[in-house]
Amino acid sequence: MRIARFLLAFVLLCSMTSAVRAEAKKKSVLNLFCWSEYVPQDVIDGFTKETGIKVNVENYASNEEMLSKLLAAGGKYDLIQPSEYTIEALVKADKLAPLNLENIPNIKNLDPAYTKLPHDPEGKYSVPWMAGSVGIVINTAKVKTPVTGYKDVFSGAHKKRIVVLNDSREIVSWALSSLGLPINDITPESLEKAKPVLAEWLPQVRVYDSDSPKTALLNGNVDVGIVWSGEAAILFKKNKKFQYVLPAEGAHRFIDSLAVPKGAANQENAEKFINYILKPEVSVKISDAFPYTNPNAEARKLLTKAQLANPASYPPGDPKLETFKDIGKVAADIDKLVTDLKNAKGK
């Protein structure tokens, strides 16, 4: 009888130990779903060293790709890195978990200009990671004529010497801006007006690349690009021949943030990561690797004069910048338009 009781107790203890180990393993993990080339490895390593939490990283190249995988993943991800219009859409769809700000005391370091914006007016669901713009990079060693806007890029003078972001909404917004049409007021009529413009532009493109559009410029495969500002900032830092211009027709400003999907298994770990990257000394590491506009006011105090003077990271003057808004199901129409035109040019 005693032996039976001992065996039962032993089995129960083993079962409990396995459960504790499983729970501990669960709590020591963070599943991060983020943009390509946007989270420095030393930041991830530093977080793991400080907290013991292992970070599993998966990348995406567009908000639309992220949304598609997120909705199909069934709670796979603990932390995502959407842009402002995607946060707006996820909040509307009740797909984000409210943040426990008590776990994020370093939120005090943020510049108020980047918090509680229209996509998250109460600051309940997101914390800004980096901001930036989409503009034009010119290799001035190759291009001697002025390039001030989209029409100059696609004038025909640079045919097959152009790299652009592989992002349908971005591409359509450039055509709309060139026509003087609102980039957030997407209708069948406005898309019909954009279509012939894009039909003329897209055959001139040599490379579509949202992950690392700077590569084609560095390799000399292209002379002009429409790229993320952080990519342009890296090019400018490497060689001043790469000049960054915000399009005269108007440019897109994005704000990428961190947010927790509803039902995430490791929300507390996600909040620990958010708090970690808001430390000024950690946030500076992000700026060093990916020199976008840093929304962390305390971190900006630690940047060098050269970093703050980079015109791609911190554009001078008062540029005309507009932020994307959620446009709902019409996003599929944009994607179809661009995809059809890309396919047509190959026929």
Find, among 260, 246, 218, the residue nearest to 96 by Cα.
260
From residue 207, how far is each of 146, 150, 169, 260 by CA, in Å?
22, 16, 17, 33
Judged against a pLDDT cut of 70, whether residue 147 lies above it is answered with yes
Superfamily (CATH) of domain 132-253+316-346: Periplasmic binding protein-like II (3.40.190.10)
- Cα angle vertex 95, ends 94, 98, to 5°? 80
DSSP 8-state assignment for residue 96: B
pLDDT, tens digit, for every residue of 51-70?
999 999 999 999 999 999 99
Give CATH 3.40.190.10 domain extents, the chain: 2-131+255-309, 132-253+316-346
CATH architecture assignment, domain 2-131+255-309: 3-Layer(aba) Sandwich (3.40)
Report phi then psi at 59, rounded to 5: -110, 155
Q: Is 37 left (phi over 0), alpha (psi -120 to 50) or beta?
A: left
pLDDT, tens digit, for every residue of 260-270?
999 999 999 99
Residue 243 forms beta bridges with which residues? 138
Helix 267-277 and helix 41-51, axial crossing angle in degrees, nearest 10: 120
Report phi then psi at 214, rounded to 5: -65, -25
Cβ pair 81, 38 in contact under 8 A: yes
pLDDT of residue 319: 84
Provide the CA 254 distance to its chain's centre, in angstroms: 8
pLDDT of residue 22: 45
pLDDT of residue 118: 95
Judged against a pLDDT cut of 50, whether residue 11 lies above it is answered with no
**What's the average model confidence in pLDDT over 328-340?**
95
Alpha helices in 74-187 (DSSP H): 84-92, 150-153, 168-178
Q: Is 339 left (phi over 0), alpha (psi -120 to 50) or beta?
A: alpha
Mean pLDDT of the residues in the chain: 92
DSSP characters over 198-222: HHHHGGGEEEE-SS-THHHHHTTS-
| Residue whose structure tokens are 């020199």 | 291
pLDDT, tens digit, for every residue of 24-50?
445 699 999 999 989 999 999 999 999
Burial bucket for residue 148 (CB in 10 Å: 0-12, 13-18, 19+): middle
